[in-house]
Amino acid sequence: MSPESEADLPAETALPGTLPEALYAELVAFRRDLHMHPELGNQEFRTTAAIKERLEKDGLAPRVLPSGTGLVCDIGTDGAADAHGATGGDGGPQGILALRADIDALPIPDSKSDCPYRSTVPDRAHACGHDVHTTVVLGAGLVLAALHRRGLLPRPVRLVFQPAEEVLPGGAAEAIKAGVLNGVSRIIAVHCDPRVDAGMIGLRQGAITSACDRLEVLLDGPGGHSARPHLTTDLVTAAARVVTDVPALVGRRVDTRAGLAVTWGRIESGHAPNVIPQHAELAGTVRCLDINAWRHAPDIVVAAIDEVANLHKAKSEINYVRGVPPVVNEPVVTELLRAAMVARRGETAVESTEQSLGGEDFSWYLEQVPGAMARLGVRTPGERTLRDLHQGDFDADESAIRVGVELFTAAALLHPAH
């Protein structure tokens, strides 16, 4: 059945693949275990082993990626295509639907004081919801495998558990090199959104995230006594002017609708109050809504930094690290996600969402095959406190796990052959 025809069906239409209560309870426990043991990008060995063990327990054959972390697992391919094969991006006659999860955590402390499953690893936390993403894809895989054993899975599915999403330019690029898209015709994902209530998803055709690059700036010059700043390069002032002036300059050198923004996250300089230092360091991000403006961003940003640094007679060294392009949701796959959610929970469970300035390496997959990402609501309905992403107190309403699993299983059942 096509997404278009499914979208017209009433919310109570019974698709198979709902989540049994016992499995839901197991998935909640699995997510909490991941939350307690967060691992950084390319270090997710325990996480990879836990996913692999659970899939193998169900009789599946997951394959660890060549990097040693992350894995893929096919359901219903029957040898037609696999992640190490060479069937081509169109998936051949079967057209595999890939479900992608990112499995890494962030290098920040978990500040949830009253949470029984808070991180046990110092300065490490699942503060972006990747533990939820991972659990959703795992749960969907287990449900779909059960459907396949009953002959109810119409087309094959691939589970992609990707490492290092938080490490620019993202682990997706390495996963693609390892062949995870071989035979895949479409790919879908979810991302936790603390602004959306649990039980709902946010969707948008076209760009749903932004490009994101990393910026590191070193400033140098002769220091001296703070009583004689005229005999020095006042690096503290120079660094401060770079922080304040560069974003303003950049904002006047591109169309404002491009949303090119420089935001600083770190500035360090000096050790004593009466000594003008010889060295300063700054680090931040460059984000952009428009992919064409993003292509010109390095030249624009570097020129602005050099101008401000030269004005204060500071020598600048700039390390501009290319990150990820925007995630651009393909219309047909976006409608597939919409139809899947409507079939499970009705029209009111889907809301429109805006393009965010966050970056996501899911975009690299969409450079290769059509796909879409939905925003998975994780806010407890009625909760007033906003637990934002990349903050130590972030947590998710765990009922979102059920929603994500049932969204993905419905999408797999409705996935068209071509």
Q: How confident is the model at residue 85 (pLDDT cuts 50, 70, 90)?
A: very low
pLDDT band at 78 (very low <50, low <70, confident <90, very high): low
How many Cβ atoms sit within 10 Å of the Cβ of residue 20?
11
pLDDT at 11 over 60: no
Each residue's pLDDT tens digit, 190-245: 999 999 999 999 999 999 999 999 999 999 999 999 999 998 999 999 999 999 99
pLDDT digits (tens, 9 = 90+) for 93-124: 358 999 999 999 999 999 998 899 999 999 99
| pLDDT of 31 | 98
Q: Is the pLDDT of residue 90 over 90?
A: no
Q: b vs e for 103-115, b when ≥16 Cβ sit within 10 Å of the residue's Cβ? A: bbbbebebebeee
In the predicted structure, residue 261 carries a pLDDT above the cut 80? yes
- Tell whether the torsion through CA atoms of 302, 308, 311 and 315 is positive or negative: negative
Q: How confident is the model at residue 1 (pLDDT cuts 50, 70, 90)?
A: very low
Residue 169: is the preceding peptide bond cis (ω within 30°)?
A: yes
Average the pLDDT over 164-174 and give the result: 94
**Per-residue pLDDT for 272 more than 90?**
yes
Q: What is the mean pLDDT of residues 174-182?
A: 97
Average pLDDT value for residue range 255-271? 94
For the chain, give the mean pLDDT.
Answer: 92
Calpha distance 328→336 (Å, rounded) = 15
Distance separating alpha carbons of residues 113 and 394, to the nearest angstrom: 12
- Summarize the confidence of residues 342-347 as an average pLDDT: 96
Q: Determine what percent of the chain is predicted with pLDDT higher than 90.
A: 86
- Which of 245, 233, 244 is CA-nearest to residue 314? 233
pLDDT-wise least confident of 67-71, 142-146, 174-178, 229-233: 229-233
Using 50, 70 and 90 to split pLDDT, how confident is the model at 385? confident
Per-residue pLDDT, averaged over 8-33, amounts to 82
Query: What would the two tokens of residue 285 be?
Result: 């991000």
Residue 7 pLDDT level (bands cut at 50, 70, 90): very low
Query: Cα(396)–Cα(383) distance, rounded to whole angstroms?
Result: 11
> Is pLDDT at 247 greater than 70 in this prediction?
yes
Of residues 3 and 311, the one with the higher pLDDT is 311
Beta-strand ranges (E) seen in 33-93 are: 63-64, 71-75
How far apart, in whole angstroms, are the C-alpha atoms of residue 183 and residue 237? 55
